[in-house]
Amino acid sequence: MEQTAAELAILLEGSVSGNPEARVRRLGKIESAGPGSVTFLANMEYEKFVYSCSATVIVVKNDFKPKQDLPDGMTLVKVEDPYRAFATLLDAYDNILKRDEGVHSSAIIHPDAIIGKGCAIGPGVVIDKGAVIGNRSELRANVYIGRDVTIGVDALFHSGVRILDRCIVGNCCTIQGGTIVGSDGFGFAPKDDGSYAKIPQTGNVVIEDDCDIGALCTLDRATLGSTIIRNGCKLDNLIQVAHNVVIGEKTVIAAQTGIAGSTTIGSHCLIGGQVGVGGHLKIANGSRIAAKSGVSASLVHPNGTYQGNPAMPIKAFQRFQIALRKLVRTERIKEKENT
């Protein structure tokens, strides 16, 4: 990657303040970016690093005005939204890093599998009978694709991803390393002797288009039917999605959240880290659930914000916390008076 400030300005729909021929070859953090780097300033708390770093180009907001002289040789590219502009740069850089198309000699591909045009199949990849891989998809080292799996176009699976039998992944999906899609749901029936009989999990997992799944997630196949991740969902690392769960479109879920079986989560929800969601619940569209909350009952009102364990409307939670602190202070006063 080597571009001039003028070329960056065209890509980011911005303007150059400084040397339009200034050249950059790499991306950098504003705290430590060196010569030949491009970085960005979106949060003004980091403005002090503008004057101390050695970046060649910094992407800033249109109305940015330096409070002191810029370092020698520094050029600004001014844009409407620096954070979004830098996301565009990262995406362009990521495309440069994509593997060349072709099948590595150590990959094992069943004769009945179908590989689309322009795919990159890395070392140690296994693609089983009846699998279909869409055009321009990239499967990095040691990915396993099970029987009769269907993968859409422009997919990117990082090392160690497992897509198990009969599961479906849509177009333009990215799945990070170590994630397993289609593992058995947690289904066991108690027996008279106190032991448990395993219930066969005969369904699959369907991930629709434009989804991003983080590293080391587990998405369990349905007992019957499908576990479904709708269009545009974004799941962080270390998330457990149990059998027959449905997650609505464009819902975002942070790390270490667990969702129990047969729960339906609406669209455009925001769920914080380490949230636990019970089974057979309904979460309304637009729900926002704060980190470490425990959801044990359905949340039926759209666009609500919830916190606590059990999760409750956030204003009720705040009143509860205020009352609890007052109670603690009162008890401490009583203890002092009695001593």
Residue 150 neighbours by CB distance under 10 Å? 19
**CA pseudo-torsion sign 26, 27, 31, 36:** positive
Which residues are bridge partners to 207 per DSSP? 169, 229
List the one residue out of 184, 147, 185 whose CA is nearest residue 167. 147
Q: Measured in whole angstroms, how far is the alpha carbon of residue 53 from the centre of its chain? A: 30
CA distance 134 to 118: 9
Distances in whole angstroms, Cα of residue 81 to Cα of each of 41, 75, 264: 10, 17, 35
Task: Give ∠ CA 269-288-245 in degrees, rounded to 5.
Answer: 45
- Angstrom distance (rounded) from CA 234 to CA 252: 5
Of 254, 297, 291, 303, residue with least CA distance to 278: 297
The one-letter code for the residue type at 188 is F
Q: Which of 158, 243, 280, 301 is catalytic?
A: 243
- The answer, yes or no, to whether the previous bond of 310 is cis (omega within 30 of 0) is yes
Active-site residue, 268 included: no
Least Cα distance to 289 among 310, 316, 303, 307 occurs for 307
Q: Which residues does the annotation mark as catalytic?
A: 243
